[in-house]
Amino acid sequence: MEIPDMQHQVMGYDRSATMFSPDGHILQVEYAEKTVRLGSASIGISCSDGILIVADKGFKDSLIVPESAEKIYEIDEHVIASAAGIISDARLLINHTRLISQQHRVTYDSPIEVESVIREIADIQQQYTQHPGVRPFGVSLIVGGKQGDETKLYTSDITGNYYEYNAVAIGENDDKIKEILRKKHRKEMKVEEGLKLAFEIFKEVLGDKFHVERINAAYIKKNEDNLKRLKPEDMKKYI
């Protein structure tokens, strides 16, 4: 007989990230996945000429300086990331990968591969589902960047899995956003087309709440060395 969720909790299966419930679930991990879906959304798109991330910063107090609430992070000059969930958890993972990236440059005199970055993040997230006395990271990340002559786009999840995507979304309404991406994303689209698509999706999902001031956008093109961040006035031409 299947044990109801409430009985799972009474029996203590939700008290540890290292304890499986009788039906094969780790409840703390599932709770963390729900936390990610409460976070504001981010969209990553791989285009024929580059990679882009557009992120919703969510509603912020008008007293907050907007630049202090960025949702797109530079890991290295060729790698960018965004997060959904508990952003303070993301900050620890981002800072760690920044250090790893710089150590790679010093040691090998070459930029770190994008997959090495997402693998490092995923390995840490997996460890926090396996040790007693800790909780899982309540965050998922999109990581994208240049790798040789190509661009790569990955996401990590709570369990420590990671996958490469042509286009992906994390955070609130991620299923709805992914469904739109499946219909409208094309591998041959340019970065400019990808930005228009991402803004179109956020306008549809956010409705009356949509405003350029709550959106971050950045991209890396294959023929350029550094990332490009879009200011609010730059975004308006794509909307």
DSSP labels for 44-86? Answer: EEEETTEEEEEEE-----TTS-GGGG--EEEEETTEEEEEEE-
Is 31 within 8 Å of 14 (Cβ atoms)?
A: yes
pLDDT recorded at residue 205:
95
Token output for 122: 């995923």
* CA distances (Å), origin 230, targets 115, 163, 234: 25, 27, 6
The model's pTM is 0.90
- Please enumerate, as own/partner, the contacts of 115-121 that have beta carbons within 8 Å and a separation of 24 or more: 115/147, 115/152, 115/154, 115/164, 117/75, 117/76, 117/79, 117/81, 117/143, 117/145, 118/143, 118/154, 118/155, 118/156, 118/162, 119/162, 120/96, 121/93, 121/96, 121/97, 121/156, 121/162
Mean pLDDT by 10 residues, the chain (239 residues): 54 72 82 91 96 90 79 95 95 97 96 96 93 89 93 94 97 96 95 96 94 93 90 88
Alpha carbon of residue 40 to chain centroid = 10
pLDDT recorded at residue 133:
81
Token output for 135: 């909780």
Secondary structure percentages of the chain, helix, strand, coil, to 5: 40, 25, 35
pLDDT recorded at residue 190:
96
Q: Which CATH number fits domain 20-238: 3.60.20.10, 2.60.40.10, 3.30.70.260, 3.20.20.70?
A: 3.60.20.10
pLDDT recorded at residue 1:
44
Residue 88: partners with Cβ closer than 8 Å, 6 or more residues away: none
Per-residue DSSP letter, 170? E
